[in-house]
Amino acid sequence: QVQLVESGGGLVQAGASLKLSCAASGRTFSSYVMAWFRQAPGKEHQFVAAITYSAVTTAYAGSVRGRFTISRDNAKKMVYLQMNSLKPEDTAVYYCAATSNGFTRVTSEYGYWGQGTQVTVSS
């Protein structure tokens, strides 16, 4: 029902900024909590940020708090992740995800996932 497609990844230098976009298709986008996860080579999916349907509440992993900002535009069915002051440890495949299970950081609660976009930060 919901299809998510990420874009905006790339290879950047440490300290640079990137803005990831997630385009959603589906008629109930505004009712979903949206999140970004990332997966570094050889590691499990890591929660990055989440935002409620109203955008009133957001959550961030401690490692990105203050540097990353999640936002959404329900009318346009878009979710964004503005990433500033990127570090080499931010290197990962970044995934957009959606859930109707409430505001959660738990990977398994998200039923819809994008294909991922690669972010590589060099030193």
**pLDDT, tens only, 14-33:** 999 999 999 999 766 667 89
Supply the pLDDT for residue 50.
Answer: 97
Six token digits for residue 41? 């080579």
104, pLDDT greater than 80? yes
Residue 92 exposed, middle or buried by CB count within 10 Å (0-12, 13-18, 19+): buried
Six token digits for residue 106? 């738990």
Average of pLDDT values for 112-122? Answer: 97
Q: Apex CA 5: angle with CA 100 and CA 112, to 5°?
A: 25
Average of pLDDT values for 61-85? Answer: 96
Q: Which residue has the higher pLDDT, 63 or 53?
A: 63
Average of pLDDT values for 29-48? Answer: 92
55, pLDDT greater than 90? no
Cα distances from 70 to residues 21, 42, 43, 81, 122, in angstroms, run 10, 25, 23, 5, 23
The residue among 24, 61, 13 whose CA lies nearest residue 69 is: 61
Range with lowest mean pLDDT among 14-23, 25-34, 39-48, 107-116: 25-34
114, pLDDT greater than 90? yes
- The one-character DSSP state at 109 is G
* Contact between 14 and 122 (Cβ < 8 Å): yes
Supply the pLDDT for residue 44.
Answer: 96
